[in-house]
Every structure is written in C-alpha cells, then in structure tokens.
C-alpha cells in the first residue's frame, strides 16, 4: 500500500515539474526556436545556402548586420533575416 502512494507521489511530482517547465515560456512563445546570434560558419545551415554562396553574399554586401566578439563574427538571426528579405540589397 505504501509503495503505491510512493508512485502516485512520484507521478504528481513529475507532472508538476513538466507543467512548471512548460509555463516558463508561456508569455514568450518566440523564446525557443532560433538562436539570437549565429556564428559565421553556421550561416549556410540556417539559410539553406552553400558555403560559397554565403561567402559571396558577405563579400558582395559587407554592410550585413553583424557583431564581432573576440575576433569571431556573429550575425543576429532576426536582423540578418530582415536585411536579407528587404529590398535594399536587391536594388543594385
């Protein structure tokens, strides 16, 4: 009898943990999904382009939004996506 109460208690504790974990991002559904900063070497993975195409894009448009920290170049995902989909780079 005491063993069954133990498993009910473990189940309720697990239920509480998972519900509490799910409520962390309740008001921030965009909190998970895509990273905020993308390393330059990971750009082809996130944008579906080849490594050569990304290098050509960055060479041709050096004004792409980026951040340099400790010698490593990072690109803000949302800003880079907005810049890539804007009409500014397609006017030339």
The CA distance from 38 to 76, in Å, is 6
Whether 75 contacts 37, CB under 8 Å: yes
Write out the H or E segment, with its range, that includes residue 52: helix 51-60
Percent pLDDT > 70 in the chain is: 85
Cα–Cα nearest to 38, from 92, 78, 87: 78
> Can you give the pTM of this predicted structure?
0.58
Judge whether residue 32 has pLDDT over 60: no
The CA distance from 74 to 36, in Å, is 10
Query: Torsions phi, psi of 83, nearest 5?
Result: -65, -40
In this predicted model, what pLDDT tens digit does every residue of 42-92 receive, in sequence order? 999 888 889 999 999 999 988 889 999 999 999 998 898 888 888 777 776
State whether residue 27 is helix, strand or coil: coil
């Amino acid at each position: 009898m005491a063993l069954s109460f133990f498993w009910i208690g473990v189940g309720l504790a697990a239920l509480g943990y998972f519900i509490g974990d799910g409520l962390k991002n309740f008001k921030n559904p965009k909190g998970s999904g895509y990273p905020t900063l993308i390393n330059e070497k990971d750009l082809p993975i996130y944008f579906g382009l080849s490594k050569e195409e990304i290098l050509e894009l960055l060479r041709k448009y050096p004004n792409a939004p980026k951040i340099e920290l400790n010698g490593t170049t990072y690109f803000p995902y949302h800003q880079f996506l907005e810049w890539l989909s804007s009409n500014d780079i397609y006017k030339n």
